[in-house]
Structure 1
Amino acid sequence: MFKHLFASMNEMLDEVMSEYPSSTAVKRKHLKEKLRALKAMSDSCIEEWLLFEEKLGQMMQATGMVSLLDSADPLDPEFAAKRSDLFVRGQGFYKLHMYSEAIDQFAELLHNQPDFTLARIYLAMSYFHQGHTEDSYSHFQFLSQLTENLKLKAISLNAMGCIQVKQNNLEKACELFNLAYRTDPSSVEPLIDLGVCREKQGGLHFTFSQSRRSGQPL
């Protein structure tokens, strides 16, 4: 159902994109109306999806399914207890690549629950995708210093190393990659990042590994 809906929306958008550059003033007015209609449909789909996510999350929590799904999470054992509408909406915005909106949700959530580590990871990642590397770095640094979870500490240190690579601070990046590996020797990625960093002298293309958190890809 949704595939057909978005296929039609994409077809309409392609039509507007192809016709707009060479269109007359009257035609452009008509095409702008189409764009407004498409935007309204898109906003409606997003809102309805987020509302459904919230409702589904509440039902899963009420039936105990959330604790079953997330009890094995090595990053935040209390995730199920802290799951809230703010988190669900923030996660939904993040999945839709709406990082500015995700930042608003996670920032508000952390204001009330500053020890919610998973929310802080999402906030740091949202800042990173928005290009706000300083804000992203500060949150990962905060996690690396305060968390007692070695895997989470290693992930934060590795993320900080990758940001240092983006800023061409290779010596500091290598130091952080080494520290990440010493913190969690089971994690191979810091060694890979370190090797790429040394081999390409800063040519590292940084992405967060989705395998780090089973079931909740970042």
Structure 2
Amino acid sequence: MKIEDWFHTLRNKAQTIEEKWQGASEQERLQLAEQLFQLRQVSDTVVDLWLQFEEKLSNAIRSIKEMEGQLPAEEKKTDQSKVNTESPKAVETNQYEPIFRRGEGFYHLRMFQDAKKCFAELVQKSPDWESGRLYYAYSLLLCEEQELAFREFRLLGRTASSPTIVAISFNAIGCILAEEEQWLEAAQAFKTSLEIKPEQEEAKYNLALCYLRDGDAQEALDELEPYLEKNEHDWEAQMLWLRAAKLLHRMDQTVEWSPPKGLQLPTRDLDSDTLQEMASLYETVGNYHRAQICYHFLTERSPKDGWTWHGLAWNTWLIAGTKRALTLVKKAISLAPENDDFLFSYGWMLLFDGRVEEAIKAFRIMLEKNRDNRLGQSGMISAYEKLGDTQEAKRLAKYFLEDAEPYVRSLGYFHLGRIAVVEENWRLAEQYFQRALPFAEQLWEIPIYLQLCASKLGQAEMQTELVQP
């Protein structure tokens, strides 16, 4: 039997025990528990044997490389201190190599608590073994002992003789600082890492992420573009580029940028998360046809996920209107009937197709489940506007102004501004839109309405000046 088949059999046994446990009797559970205990003994034996094998294999490879003179230059330099008999620490380092190999084995098996114990012993007995201390720092980090890990990485960053270990340590320091949302300090750590080792791709990605999280979209793009030239299919970097481009567009709609090669057109080869981010960017810049293509690929890949059909429906509606979109949004609702966003979109499409009564039914279904549902109330406000009942629309909108959430209050001012536009009360409309302006990123029509108000008010002032004696 192949070793792969043997492990497959063991996995199947563990899965079978898990599946049988829920419906098993007390006696059957005792038998299943005994089987689990036996599997645990097998696992422990395999780990021990693998560690012994790994240690012997590593020693054999190292010895043969030394005999053949094939040890890489940097590795020779490091190992020279391990085997140099003129140095007392050299003998000490070589003496503790079995501890290092055992800890390394535990680490690669993701048994980080065991790895931490081995490397803690190693750094105590051989504190100058830099790669051992690096493993110790990472083991601490992966055991969620961040403060101790941070201290070890800082020590390596200041004292290590290997540029590679110094660069890796500063990259790790940056990751810890980024976890605490100290973006400026994290970015500086990543920059230091890259100054020491410019080719370290991980630090380049991390630096771009810091820039983006700190709101520096252009800086993020500048770091990501050369990174993606070398790592064209890195879907995480692709997503990061798309988010940075979307943020930059929101900050400055006149800015021009060219997508990296792998993101110039949506394709089926792209990762699902990347396609979703790409669709979001295309929606932001108004390229609904390409967003529609992204969602089409996503529905093929995830046909049972309602959000993929909703995205396809929404962009189809923006391109081709209600008739073609309704079937798609109904599909989304059937897959996730509890999702109010989908039902709201259905009502919204009906509303703008002039089917006001049908739209009201959809919004009322939402309000029957939750009378304070802001989406349902927003739909009803727009429906009352369509019916010409601006008083009822105002009454509903003013409820939003009492909400504790700033965004909901801004949404209320936005609704009241739109109602004032319908009534051609331009000055009042402008005042309402100004109050909603802090959330213009979410309510993207606000700048357009403000321009309309300014234009109407300017025309009125000009007419007033013309009739003055």
The equivalent residue for 1:30 is: 31
Three-state SS of the structure 1 residue aligned to 2:32 is: helix
Q: CA deviation at 1:59?
A: 3.5
* 1:131 and 2:174 aligned: no
CA 40–69 in structure 1, closer or farther in 2 if over 3 Å, else same: farther
Q: Which amino acid in 2 is paired with 1:55?
A: K
The equivalent residue for 1:214 is: none
Q: CA deviation at 1:183?
A: 3.0
Task: Trace 1:1-218 onto structure 2 (pairs within 5 A).
Answer: 1-65=2-66, 70-73=71-74, 77-78=78-79, 81=83, 82=93, 84-201=97-214
Three-state SS of the structure 2 residue aligned to 1:78 is: helix
Higher share of residues assigned helix: 2
CA distance in 2, matches of 1:133, 1:87: 22
CA distance in 1, matches of 2:147, 2:70: 33
CA distance in 1, matches of 2:70, 2:145: 32
Give the CA RMSD over aligned residues. 2.5
CA distance in 2, matches of 1:36, 1:132: 30
| TM-score, normalisation: structure 2 | 0.40
CA 152–55 in structure 1, closer or farther in 2 if over 3 Å, else same: closer
Residue range with higher mean Cα deviation, 191-200 or 99-108:
191-200
Q: CA deviation at 1:78?
A: 1.8
Q: CA deviation at 1:76?
A: 6.5
| Structure number with higher relative contact order (C-alpha < 8 Å, ≥ 6 residues apart) | 1
Q: How many residues align?
A: 202
Q: CA deviation at 1:64?
A: 4.7
Three-state SS of the structure 2 residue aligned to 1:171 is: helix
| TM-score, normalisation: structure 1 | 0.82
Q: CA deviation at 1:154?
A: 1.9
* Contact preservation (8 Å) 1:75, 1:118: no
CA distance in 2, matches of 1:105, 1:68: 30
Q: Which amino acid in 1 is paired with 2:116?
A: I
* Contact preservation (8 Å) 2:65, 2:71: no
Can you give the 5+ residue segments of structure 2 that lack an aligned partner in the other structure? Answer: 84-92, 216-469
CA 75–14 in structure 1, closer or farther in 2 if over 3 Å, else same: farther
In the TM superposition, what whole-angstrom CA distance separates every residue of 1:117-158 from its partner, at most 9, and x where no partner exists?
111111111112111111211111010011233332222111
CA 29–171 in structure 1, closer or farther in 2 if over 3 Å, else same: same
Three-state SS of the structure 2 residue aligned to 1:77 is: helix
Residue range with higher mean Cα deviation, 150-159 or 78-87:
78-87
Q: Which amino acid in 1 is paired with 2:157?
A: S
CA distance in 2, matches of 1:129, 1:88: 18
Q: Which amino acid in 2 is paired with 1:119?
A: G
Identical-pair percentage: 26
CA distance in 2, matches of 1:66, 1:157: 35
Q: CA deviation at 1:62?
A: 4.6
Q: CA deviation at 1:45?
A: 0.7
Q: CA deviation at 1:26?
A: 0.7
CA distance in 2, matches of 1:135, 1:70: 33
* Contact preservation (8 Å) 1:178, 1:194: yes
Residue range with higher mean Cα deviation, 9-18 or 176-185:
176-185
